[in-house]
Structures are given as C-alpha cells and as structure tokens.
Amino acid sequence: MSEPARTVNGPPPGRWRRWSSWAGYAALGWALLYGGFGLITALTGTPMFYRADEPLPVALNWISVAVAASAAVTVSAAVRSWGRRVPRPVVPVTLIGLCVLIGAAAFGLLMDVVTLVFTQRVDSWTATANRALAAIGVLLLIATTRAHRSSGACVRCGAVHTSSTARSRPEPTPAPPRVRVLAYAGAAAFLPYAAMKTIWALGGTFAGVSGAQMLATMERNGASGALLALERRGIDATALLAALGVFLIFGLVRPWGQTFPRWTPVLRGRRVPRWLPLAPALIGAATLAPYGAIGLVYAALGTSGAVTVSRGDFPTPGDALLVTWIGLGAFAVYGIALAVAAWSYLRRTRPVCALLVSRPATG
C-alpha cells in the first residue's frame, strides 16, 4: 500500500479549486450590491463622487449603476453555461476594462482611511463607502478573471495536471537589483517630507510657518486629540506613517519581508500571508502614484507661472510651492517605487504547483 505524501507548507489540494468556484459568484453578489447602492443614492439625490471636499453631480451616480450592471452580465457569462457561447477573449478583456473603471472609483480610499484615523471623520461617508465597495469589487473581478482564464487548468500556473498537486511557496528571495534601487529611492524621497513635518512638530519654522501656527491649523481642521497630543510632544503622525511606508517597501524587496521575524514568538519563522503586505502596498501605490504625479504637474505649472498657486496657510505662493514639491514629490516617487516593489513581490512569492508523490506505508 502507499499513501500520498503531504506538502508541509501547502493547503489541502482542493482549496484552490474551491476558491475558483466561488470567486465569480462573490463578484456577482458584489455587482448587485454596488448597483443597488448606486441606484439608491441616485434616486435620493446623494452624491457618490467627490473632488476633494466638493460633491460632483448626482447624475454621475448612474455611471456606477451602468458599470455594476455590465459587471453582473460579464461575471454571469464567466460562471454560467450560457457564457460559453460568448467568444472566449471577450469576457476577460471586459472584466479587465471594468477593473480599470471601478479602480478609478476607488481612488482616494487611502486618504479616507488616514483622515478617519487622524480626525475620526471623513468628508462624506457615502463617498467613502463607494470607494470601499469599489476596491472590494476590483479584487473580486480580478479573482473572477483569473478563474475564467484558467478554466480547465490550474488557477496557479495555468497548466493542466494529470496527477494530484498541492500549493508550495517558493523560498524567500530578494528582489532584482534594479527593483531594490528603485525601492531605496522611494524610501529616500520621504526623508525631506519627514524632516519638514518633524521641524514643525518640534516647534521650528519651515516655509514661513511655525510649529505653533501649524498646530493651530490642525486644531482648526478638526484633528483628533491623540494626533494633537503627539504633535505637542514633537511627534508628527504623518512622519510615523512615512516610516511605516519605508518599512513596507523594504519588506517587499528583501527576503525577511516574506517570513515573520524572530521577535514574534508564536509566528516566528512562519510565512507571511501574501495579502498582508500586498493589500496596503497596492492600495498605497494606486493612491499615491497618481495623486503625486498629478500634484507634480500642478507644481511644475505653478513654478513656470502657467497657473496661479494659492498660498493657503503659507505667507507666499513660493512657500506653498516649496511644500508642494516636497510632499507630492515624495508621494509620486514612493508610489511608483511601491507599485514596482509590489509587482516584484507578487511574482517572487507566487505559489507553484508541487506534485504529490507516493511513499510506502509504514506498519
């Protein structure tokens, strides 16, 4: 007699098969929920989309309803038998296009989360709910696309297996040198930003604004008590977030980012779930890279005199431009570097298929 050998770091062989079977139905349920959300807001006259804190026309809500309806039809074609009559490339191409549209609706979710943490409020709960639902929809549509593309084949590697397999994680490896260099550049881009914010937290003056003035502005804008308490002790919360961002991008490109460190007694040496670093990395990259890039274009136009720059809370437009270059420059460089590092991490940690071998039974 013989018994199948178990793969130590892989789940039961049927787990991925189950995942590919329910992803489409979960996406279909999301499409119905998102379409209903858009329909209710459109009928009640509640804006779903905002530019900064300014609501956009309610008529735009109907776009989300149309997108959700398109997603429901396309996902149904992917999971139901009638979809076999549709030319095979049409479904994944349509799903990818829908991911792009819905991803645009999710833009700003990271900023909402940061604002919620710091002030315990957001500009619009409806807009935040829209962004959160859109982000969930992107993930489910990507999963559906993968499942549809691998129909009849393995959802991990795309091959057709003739014997039992199980998931196996590759050994931790560093990112290629070019990716590491870009990640280090992204981390370094945050140094001027962190220094500027720390100067204000310590009571110093930068760009014509003192630490006391910055603290008064934060109080006027509704910053939380915990945030203000940190600021009064010389600790800026956004500088701490920048430090966490540096830690994240380093973990994406170094081998230690794929296993829990030694100082975690229970999890020491265990593999880090891929979604744990990838979720904040992808959300951060999708928010910071376009936000920073658009901001740099604005700063360049302002510096050249093509547009008039508002000085805001700063003494002169030049001071406002200086802070804009430092802040949005950091977001742009770090966001692009984070996207490249996340893609490298995704490819390096992608599970592979390991054949289950047989061994003689003992006893």
pLDDT in tens, the chain (363 residues): 334 433 434 444 444 445 567 888 999 999 999 999 999 999 999 999 988 778 999 999 999 999 999 999 999 998 887 667 788 788 889 999 999 999 989 988 888 888 887 777 888 999 999 999 999 999 899 889 888 776 655 655 555 565 566 667 788 899 999 999 999 999 999 999 999 999 999 999 999 999 999 989 888 877 778 888 888 888 898 899 999 999 999 999 999 888 876 666 656 667 888 888 998 998 899 889 998 999 999 999 999 989 888 888 899 999 999 999 999 999 999 999 999 999 999 989 887 776 655 555 554
**Phi, psi torsion values for 7, nearest 5 degrees:** -90, 120
How high is the pLDDT of residue 9?
42
How high is the pLDDT of residue 199?
94
pTM, rounded to two decimals:
0.80
Q: Give per-residue pLDDT as tens, 260-303.
A: 766 666 566 678 888 889 989 988 998 899 989 999 999 999 99
How high is the pLDDT of residue 332?
94
How high is the pLDDT of residue 1?
37
E-strand stretches of 171-298:
205-206, 209-210
Q: Give per-residue pLDDT as tens, 127-182.
A: 999 999 999 999 899 889 888 776 655 655 555 565 566 667 788 899 999 999 99
How high is the pLDDT of residue 323?
94
How high is the pLDDT of residue 254?
93
Using an 8 Å Cβ cutoff, are 262 and 269 in contact?
yes
How high is the pLDDT of residue 5?
39
How high is the pLDDT of residue 10?
42
